[in-house]
Each structure stands twice: as structure tokens, then as C-alpha cells.
Amino acid sequence: MISGNRQLWKEVGWNGLRISVPGVWETDRLGDCYILMENDGFPVLEIKWNQLKGKFSPDKHLKRLKSKYHKQKTNQEIFSWVVPRSWSRILKGYDITGFKWDGKLFSGKGLILFCKDCKRATLLQFYENRYKKNSVSTLIDYPAVLSSFQDHNSKGICLWAVFDIRAELPEQFKLLRHSFKPGSYELVFEAEGYQLAFYRWSPASVILFDNDLRSFARKVFPFESCEGVSESRDCPDSIEFLVLPSLGFWKKWRQRLRKKKIFKWSRLWHISDANRILGIRAESNRPMDIDFLKNICSRYGVV
Amino acid sequence: MALFKKKPRPSPLSRQQALNCKPVKNVNVTEVRLENGSVMLSYPVGTRPWVATLIKRFSRAPEKPVTKKLELDTLGSAVWDLLDGNRSVKQVIRKFAKTYRLHPKEAEVSVTQFLRQLGRRGIIGFRPE
């Protein structure tokens, strides 16, 4: 089993969910409340979760899952499965329902978890490839993966760790949009009129070949047209921009009614060891605490 | 009737098979190294037979193969330089990711997209393992 070297494991965090998986597993697909992990091109773990409002009924969920697979005509048969005691012990805070399925290419084990504290229902599906019996995916250390599973955090901090980026944000910030294109990642969050965007560009050596960080920053954050822009650099590998025009009382109110973001702040920094450029942009119709933003920057990095 | 029977489509390659293919450069493609280190490719463009017949019939000028030019950026040129006919797609991805310290998934997406585009233009072909 691949539990031997836990150093080769990595933590994945997405929209309130946190789980540790073997390092060879890669994120294949991401949705707002969905993660599909793959290993060597084959799915290994699929997680879906949702906040429930009413009563939780695992049988209803299982029935729905069965009919879904039946409609898809995937020749997959789903049947109830008694979860091993060791698993239940690990997941003792949850209501657990187990199921198994058998298909042409994949078979696997699944769990429907319900957390009474956060009222979140999670569907975990571990895939096993029928044609790769001795592959890593078939030798999953289930207890190790399950013991790291968290669907909420009591400290009010949400971890966002996918691919090679890792950020920690207060829970209030909800994901607005995300894009992971080769060379550029973007994650945009919003909370109470504040907007925070996280960026990651690579390879930095190519981007900064005939550009310096300042001109690159000006290209990606075109603040020149803004009033009251100031620029500062605390070290040669980072640059900061602040847009805070000095507006009169009425003008400020007019901007606020028009929902115009008058406060703009951004910071870009170059991590030469990792050959990446990271950036954070904050926008709001009220001034934001710069120390809070710098704290966010310190919790954003490359894995 | 067997005569009018539709030809069965060849089964698509699996991901693993596709990654094991070896990209081979088209011998009719000429490459020129530019001053900035990037590569400029000139490749012949195949015309449809009926277009070729029309050109042949109505054009007075001697028949010349139509060529197009394609300038690769820094990363494209780096991938192009890795294509030696012996390396598989997987090996090219690994080498590319190592050179630029890219995330493996990111390198895989960008290199496969790039190779697919070159393949569509006929600049490279893929030799199965």
C-alpha cells in the first residue's frame, strides 16, 4: 500500500473540503463542489459535496445514484455495502453509508458521508481499474486518505490547495470563478463587497525574459488610467500597486452607488526557485486593511 | 451487402498509447533559427485535388508547391527542439516540464495541445511505439 512514505503525500483543499492523497494523484477536474483525481490517466477518487437544508436520507441518495447510473446505461451495478469497522472508527463524526459498484472498466467503493455539524453531505468514490490490478490506484491506503478527510474547519479558515498553489482564506470569501489554463491560473473570491483574486503565472523565466516584473505587472493589472495610483517595492522580487483616489464626500457616495470599486490593490512577486510569479489583486468600494492583505499574501504560495 | 458496408472506424488510441507515440518531423519542413532564438517553420500546404487541377489548367506560372510560414514562440521552439524522432510524447513532456520547472499536468496539457496543432498542419507525424 502507498502509505509508507507520507512525505510523498499532498494536501488538496477546495471550497471547504480538505483531504490528503498520494503525491502521484493529480487533480483532473474541478467544479464548485466537485473534484476528480486521476492517476496515470485513470480516475482514482471522485468527491462531490453539497450543503443540505432539509433532512438527510442516505437511502434516497443511493437510490438517486442507482437511477443515474441506470439512465447513463454504463452497465454499472450499484449495491449497498457494509463499511468496515476501521473506516467507521476513522469517520466517527459522520453518518456513513457504503456502496460498491461494478462496471466494465471500473469497479469501486463509495461512501456517502453526512456531517451533523456543518450539514454537508459528501459523496466519495474510490475507483479501481479492472485492467490494472496491481497499479497504484488499486493499492489505495483507504484509511490514510479517509483519516485526512475534513469537510469543515472550526478555525474559520478555508484551504485552497490544487495543482501547485496553496492559499488560505477566511471562510467568508466565496469562490466566484476559477480558471486553470497552462501558464496562468486565476481564482477569484468575493465577500461583502470585497473581491480578492489570486494569480499564478509560469514559467517566470520566459515571461520575464524581455520584461521586468514592473512592466509585466502593468500589463496584467492596467492601473495607469486610474486616479491616485502609487507603486512600492519592498524587495526587488516583488511589486505593489495601490489605487486610492482622494475623493470628496459626494463623489465617494456616487462611486459607491454606482458600485464602482474605488480601492484597488495588487501585489506581484517572483519566486525564482519555483520559476513562478504569484499575484494577488484586491478590489473594493471601501478601503481595505493593507495588513490583512499582506497576511493573505504570506499565506499564498507554491507547493 | 459487404460492398456497401461502412468501413469500421479504427479504435481511438488510449491516453497511454498516445503518450507513447513518437513525434516525427516532416522532412519537407524547413526550419530557420531567428535572432531571438525562436524557430520559423516553412511547411508545404496540400491543396485539394480539384483545386490543384484548376491551378494547373489556368495558371501560366510553373507549378510551385504552396508553403506557409509559422513562427514559434520561446516555449514552442523549446518543444520543437526536443522532437528528435526518438523521444516519445511522454518523454518530451517530462523534459519540457523539467527544463521550465512546470507542473506535470500543466506541461502535459500545453505540450499535447501544441503537438496536436503541429500534427493538424502536417508539420509532424506520430509514429506508434
Q: State whether residue B106 sits within 8 Å of chain A by CB.
A: yes
Cβ A175 vs Cβ A32: under 8 Å: yes
- B7 domain-assigned: no
Q: Report, as an integer, the average pLDDT of A5-23.
A: 87
CB atoms within 10 A of CB A202: 25
Closest residue in A to B77 (Cα) is A206
CB atoms within 10 A of CB A87: 16
Cβ B116 vs Cβ B109: under 8 Å: no
Q: Report, as an integer, the average pLDDT of A209-227.
A: 81
The interface predicted TM-score of the complex, written ipTM, equals: 0.81
Contacts of A165 in chain B (CB under 8 A): none
- B4 domain-assigned: no
The three-point CA angle A206-A212-A216 to 5° equals 80
Cβ A179 vs Cβ A164: under 8 Å: no
The one-letter amino acid code at B5 reads: K
- B9 domain-assigned: no
Nearest to B75 by CA among A4, A237, A184, A247: A184
Q: State whether residue B33 sits within 8 Å of chain A by CB.
A: no
Given this model, what pLDDT does residue B13 score? 83
Q: Report, as an integer, the average pLDDT of B56-72.
A: 81
- Is pLDDT above 70 for A4? no
Contacts of A164 in chain B (CB under 8 A): 103
For residue range A26-61, list pLDDT tens digits in order: 999 999 999 999 988 888 999 999 988 888 888 888
Given this model, what pLDDT does residue B63 score? 67
Cα dihedral across residues B76, B81, B83, B88: positive or negative:
negative
For residue range A113-146, list pLDDT tens digits in order: 999 888 899 999 998 877 665 555 456 788 889 9
Q: Which of A71-80, A148-157, B86-95 has the lowest mean pLDDT?
A: A71-80
- B5 domain-assigned: no
Question: Is pLDDT larger for residue B11 or for residue A179?
Answer: A179
Structural domains in chain A plus CATH codes: 6-147 (3.40.1000.10), 158-302 (3.40.1000)
The one-letter amino acid code at B59 reads: S
Given this model, what pLDDT does residue A133 score? 59
The closest CB to that of B75, out of A26, A27, A206, belongs to: A206
The Cα–Cα gap between A176 and A71 comes to: 32
For residue range B71-112, list pLDDT tens digits in order: 999 999 999 999 999 999 999 999 999 999 999 999 999 999
At residue A181 the predicted structure's pLDDT band, cuts being 50, 70 and 90, is: very high
- B59 domain-assigned: yes
- Give residue A32's region: left, alpha or beta (phi > 0; psi -120 to 50): alpha
Cα dihedral across residues A199, A203, A208, A210: positive or negative:
negative
Q: Which domain holds residue B94?
A: 15-127
Cβ A195 vs Cβ A285: under 8 Å: no
- Is pLDDT above 50 for A2? no
- B8 domain-assigned: no
- B20 domain-assigned: yes
Question: Which residues of chain A from 183 to 222 reach within 8 Å of chain B, CB to CB?
Answer: 183, 202-203, 205-206, 209
DSSP 8-class letter at A150: B
Q: Looking at residue B96, which CATH number applies to its domain?
A: 3.90.930
- Bridge partner residues of A190 (DSSP): A174, A195
Cα-based torsion angle of the residue sequence B61, B67, B68, B74 in order, rounded to the nearest 10 degrees: -140
Q: State whether residue B34 sits within 8 Å of chain A by CB.
A: no
- Is pLDDT above 90 for A224? no
Q: Report, as an integer, the average pLDDT of B19-32.
A: 94
Nearest to A202 by CA among A189, A179, A184: A184
Domain count, chain B: 1
Q: Quick check: helix, strand or coil at residue A257? A: helix
Q: What phi and psi, each to the nearest 5 degrees, are found at residue B62?
A: -60, 145
Given this model, what pLDDT does residue A76 score? 72
- Is pLDDT above 90 for B30? yes
The three cell numbers locating residue B77? 521552439
Q: State whether residue B109 sits within 8 Å of chain A by CB.
A: yes
- Is pLDDT above 50 for A231? yes
Nearest to A255 by CA among A221, A223, A226, A218: A226
Closest residue in A to B73 (Cα) is A206
CA of A17: how far to CAs of A149, A270, B23, in Å? 8, 29, 40
- B92 domain-assigned: yes
